[in-house]
Amino acid sequence: MQNDSDRFFVLTGGPGSGKTTLIEALKAMGFATAPEAGRVIRDQMAIGGPALPWQDQALFAELMLSWELRSWRAAHAKPGPVFFDRGVPDVIGYLRLCSLPVPDRIKNAAAKFRYARRVFIAPPWPKIFTQDEERKQTLDEAERTFQSVAEAYAELGYNLVPLPLTSVEERVRFVLDATDCCGHGKSRASPAFSDLS
């Protein structure tokens, strides 16, 4: 399957770690982005749907997978780098976190719908962690989510790059330096990032 994986950059991690805030900052700078599939919770709640993580975890995972595949395909029409708020491997991490089996179709999707090998992962950050109507996880659950998605990406051959626990501006600079997007910052051949490619 042909793809533009070298320009599809995933930002993942546990909930409440500043990942989406970083994605929004990149979007504000004019970069193409793909929103998080987990936020389909909002739509399900609005329509009284059953695909909610506290109601039907397997159905919720299927909905997330469909979202991620659609986002991946839509990204081909966007020029330049695209920053994804999570990716297909997150669905595997989620199912494992819930002690649910991972169907072959989801394993196949993770193998076929690829992203850049360098994946940015936001570590748990208790200082900024909050809950809301859609994010009901505890900090402990957020930390276990981080571990589960990290393992899923690593098993699929991705190189995980932890995001620094710092300001949004510095995180943006870190990501742009590490990806050399639009010629910003250090090149991919730079010694500081050679071990991440």
Sign for the pseudo-dihedral over CA of 11, 13, 18, 185: negative
Beta-sheet strand order (sheet of 32-34): 32-34, 82-85, 8-13, 118-122, 159-162
- Rg from Cα positions in the chain: 16
In a domain, 139, yes or no: yes
The residue ranking higher by pLDDT, 147 or 2, is: 147
In a domain, 109, yes or no: yes
Domain span including residue 59: 5-166
Question: 122: domain CATH number?
Answer: 3.40.50.300
In a domain, 194, yes or no: no
127-147, pLDDT tens digit by residue? Answer: 765 655 555 567 678 788 999
Is 185's pLDDT higher than 50? no
Is 82 strand, coil or helix? strand
In a domain, 149, yes or no: yes
In a domain, 184, yes or no: no
In a domain, 181, yes or no: no
Quote the number of domains for the chain.
1
pTM: 0.83
53-107, pLDDT tens digit by residue? Answer: 889 999 999 999 999 999 999 999 998 999 999 999 999 999 999 999 999 999 9
In a domain, 132, yes or no: yes
In a domain, 179, yes or no: no
> Do strands 118-122 and 32-34 pair parallel, antiparallel, or not at all (unpaired)?
unpaired
